[in-house]
Amino acid sequence: MSLTHSPAMRNLLASVVVQAIDSGTVNPAGKLLLLTGGGLPVATLTFSNPAFSPPGGGVAVANPIIGDPAAVGGFVARFQVVNRDNQLVLEGTVGEVGADITVVNNYIAPGDAVEVDPGAIIYQAVP
């Protein structure tokens, strides 16, 4: 039998993570940083504040995200989510298949506008 959490615990776990994105005072909102495999910035997107809807079933959906109108550009391989004080909350992979964030094409040209479709970013607590 695998380890599972109750629905209430999954909601609590998701709440802790998504509320961490809204913590801090330096910036008006947390950010989604798209990075190269070596950690160089490619694009910076800004979450709403609050960043996510309240979780249900252990899943929270990102509120609208403000795109980057002129990305630095490069091959995206990683992402980081930072809070309002630019402190790391979570990070993961970006790719065309099998990544934490899936993209159609992981190359972003310099100066390109980068946007995220509404409802495309979710946080899901482990079952």
pLDDT tens digits along 28-71: 999 999 999 999 999 999 999 999 999 999 999 999 999 999 99
**pLDDT for the residue 3:** 87
pTM of the complete model beyond 0.85: yes
Joined tokens for residue 119: 């409802």
Can you tell me the distance from the alpha carbon of 47 to that of 18, in angstroms, rounded to the nearest whole number? 11
8 by DSSP, 3-state: which? helix
Does 2 reside within a domain? no
Number of compact structural domains in the chain: 1
CB 98 within 8 A of CB 32: no
For 13, the domain range is 7-124
**Residue 1 belongs to a domain:** no
Tokens linked to 12: 């609590």
